[in-house]
Amino acid sequence: MELPLEQFNKLSLAEATSALLTCCTSTQWAQTLANKRPFTDMQTLLVHSDDAWTQAQTDEGNLLEAFDGHPQIGNVDSLKEKYRNTQSSAAHEQSGANDAEDSVIEALAQGNQDYLDKFGFIFIVFATGKSAQQMLDLLLARLPNDRQTELKNAANEQNKITRLRLQKMLSDA
């Protein structure tokens, strides 16, 4: 759904909350932000969103509720499809590139499962513009962390994702 900020401001509380839940599935965040309307501009909305997310982070249940709104990156077939058209350099056109890419995809799938097994929630990362290899590198760098560190890391990544989704949803058009 894409709507102008002015129209969003006029939605009922229930409609605004429902729309916000498409950006982040934390009920507390969505209700807090919906109650802060009206917003004069996108920057003001994003500041209030950040504040609402900071409040929501005080309860682990809110974090897990938000994380549950993401599909797990871990299915090898869906990962192959996601990254199929991202290869543009000549190096990836070489005969061994497809095998290497498959190995990255399989390692990413395994890493995601290892992450879920260790922390009890899926790997959350702001994936926009990242290759499969970059995602794998980030996952492997975060996997040795303790659960509290990863809750914080995932919460920070969730906020980046939410901000992007808000900007896409609430166009000025």
Length of the chain: 173
Catalytic sites, residue numbers: 70
Single out the residue of 70, 33, 38, 44 nearest to residue 155, CA to CA: 70
DSSP state of 36: T
Q: Which residues of 20-38 are buried (b: 16+ CB within 10 A; e: fewer)?
A: bbebbbbbbbbbbbbebee
- Cβ contacts of residue 123 below 8 Å, gap of 6+? 72, 73, 111, 112, 115, 116, 139, 142, 154
